Amino acid sequence: MSSNSVAGLPLSSIPIFQTVASYREWRRRAYDEKKSVGFVATMGALHDGHASLVRRSLAENDLTVVSIFVNPAQFAPHEDLATYPRTLPHDLDVLSSLSHSVPGSSITRSPSALFLPTVNEMYPSGITQDKLAQKGTFVEVKGYGHQMEGSRRPDFFRGVATVVTKLFNAIEPSRTYFGQKDIQQALLLRRMVRDLLLSHPTLENLFIVPTKRSVVLSNLLSRAHVFYVCRDAKSSLALSSRNAYLTPSERELAAPTLYAALQAAKTCWESGSSKAEVIANAYNLVERKAQELSSLETRIDMRLDYLEMNDPETFEVVPGEETRSAWELEGHNRPVILSGAMWVGRTRLIDNVVLGDVARLGIIA
């Protein structure tokens, strides 16, 4: 493929489209050639989690489009829009390193196009982070945006639903891939696709891909903590663009605590504890670790933002007295989601585990 030389952008072997109009010409040819188009929406600063979505798309579609757009509408005025990592040359390297050999053929697929719109292109009516001053069209999935992440980021899902609707309208994907790390986002977008009767993608063509993690080898928990929270807890950190904000010691000593707390909570739930006990134990684990870290010479500040158990269908909080066996006896034919967010210094990390059969949420490795 010839190199792309768009003014002001790094040279790239992958075609880059900055306008919807130029992308649509490319999309029209894909329609003419009856080629399926897989789509992965990102905010850039690509890592192996993003790569896992792209690999899945390469395996399942003739063509794969990735978007990079840091969406102002999903950041609150006090959040990190200005400092969000923007690493286009690195992102192009990551994308050009990805390929998929189609079994039984000589075809090798690699990402086909990068959609890299400007803010004006995505928000023709303009966009400000001050919600009261915003003008134009916004998409809200009412009743599903105020729990879990929405309890801490009240306008976040309005911003996500709005930009993803625009991206779906522009890209017209045959299939699309979102990460389980942002589980509420993926489930909410499924609901949006259904409610808005979208055809690109259809509901069954929005896929949720398991979270990629890096294993951290530090000895996270002392024995006493492990006993308190029911069992050993594996330490591992979900890959995330925002991990770039962490210092090496925050990354090694503090950040894996969130997943360890989720894993410990999972064990409590599976061994019959009530939801209230499960959550209290998880908070306790984080609190003890936080005390340990705050007494280090190079003090690390760490605290849970929230950790909660929710119904994946209604998103409502699971009642405190609920247990796993009661949940099943009540005839819920679905798992529960245990999700949380944790501050490590100035960095906010999120993660989740599904308690029960993940396949029932359509999450397949």
Ligand X SMILES: Nc1ncnc2c1ncn2[C@@H]1O[C@H](COP(=O)(O)OP(=O)(O)OP(=O)(O)O)[C@@H](O)[C@H]1O
Ligand Y SMILES: CC(C)(CO)[C@@H](O)C(=O)[O-]
Binding site for ligand BAL (CB under 6 A): 43, 74, 182
Q: Which is nearer to ligand Y, 15 or 179 (CB)?
A: 179
Stretch that binds ligand X, among 28-36, 153-161, 177-185, 263-271 (CB under 6 A): 177-185
Q: Which is nearer to ligand BAL, 191 or 288 (CB)?
A: 191
Asked if residue 41 binds ligand Y (CB under 6 A), the reply is: yes
> From CA 340, how far away is CA 322, in angstroms rounded?
19
Asked if residue 352 binds ligand X (CB under 6 A), the reply is: no
Residue 338 near residue 309, CB atoms below 8 Å? yes
| Residue of the chain from 71, 211, 257, 352 that contacts ligand X (CB under 6 A) | 211
| Residue of the chain from 12, 71, 165, 235 that contacts ligand Y (CB under 6 A) | 71
> From CA 50, how far away is CA 94, in angstroms rounded?
10
Asked if residue 171 binds ligand Y (CB under 6 A), the reply is: no
Asked if residue 117 binds ligand X (CB under 6 A), the reply is: no
> From CA 150, how far away is CA 143, in angstroms rounded?
10
Catalytic residues: 50
Residue 312 near residue 335, CB atoms below 8 Å? yes
Asked if residue 164 binds ligand Y (CB under 6 A), the reply is: yes
What 8-state DSSP symbol labels residue 210? P
Asked if residue 240 binds ligand X (CB under 6 A), the reply is: yes
Q: Which is nearer to ligand Y, 13 or 118 (CB)?
A: 118
Residue 147 near residue 179, CB atoms below 8 Å? no
Stretch that binds ligand Y, among 103-111, 158-166, 253-261, 268-276 (CB under 6 A): 158-166
What 8-state DSSP symbol labels residue 298? S
Count Cβ atoms below 10 Å from residue 135 Cβ, excluding itself.
Answer: 10
Crossing angle of helices 88-96 and 48-60, rounded to 10°: 40
Asked if residue 351 binds ligand X (CB under 6 A), the reply is: no
Cβ 136 to ligand Y shortest distance, Å:
17
> From CA 261, how far away is CA 217, in angstroms rounded?
16
Using a 10 angstrom Cβ sphere, with 0-12 exposed, 13-18 middle and 19 or more buried, the burial of residue 133 is: exposed
Q: Give the interface with ligand X as residue ranges (CB under 6 A).
A: 42-43, 49-50, 52-53, 178-179, 181-182, 209, 211-212, 238-242
